[in-house]
Structure formats: C-alpha cells, structure tokens
Amino acid sequence: MNYERELAQIEKQLVTQDPLLAEKLETFEQITAPRPPRAGPRRRVYLLA
C-alpha cells in the first residue's frame, strides 16, 4: 500500500468538499514552506552600550 498516495487522495477529497479547510490548508502550507535563500553576505550588527 502506498500511504502517501492514499493520504493525498483523502486530502483532495476533503478539500473539494470543504472550501474553508482548503483555505486553512493553503495558509498552513505557506507558513511551513521553506524560506528562500537570502541574497548576499550576512551583515553583522554590533550593539555598543
């Protein structure tokens, strides 16, 4: 059995039945998506106190 395929089918079925769930899932995917790599070298900031 391919659990990932089965889960994807169940998820697709639930999302098509419930638009609110689809919206929440999209938001969750945006939050958990990996961040894009930052361009350029990192800058160091020193606090002088």
Q: What pLDDT shows up at residue 1?
A: 60
Count of positions (residues) in the chain? 49
- CA 24, 30, 31, 34 dihedral sign is positive
**How far apart (Å, rounded) are the C-alpha atoms in residues 17 and 49?**
58
Q: Is the pTM of this model over 0.75?
A: no
10-28 tens-digit pLDDT: 888 887 888 887 787 777 7
Q: Is the dihedral of CA 7, 9, 22, 28 positive or negative?
A: positive
Supply the pLDDT for residue 7.
Answer: 84
Question: Where are the chain's structural domains?
Answer: 3-32
Contact 22, 15 (CB under 8 A): yes
Confidence of residue 8 (pLDDT cuts 50, 70, 90): confident
The percentage of the chain sitting over the pLDDT mark of 90, rounded to a whole number, equals 0
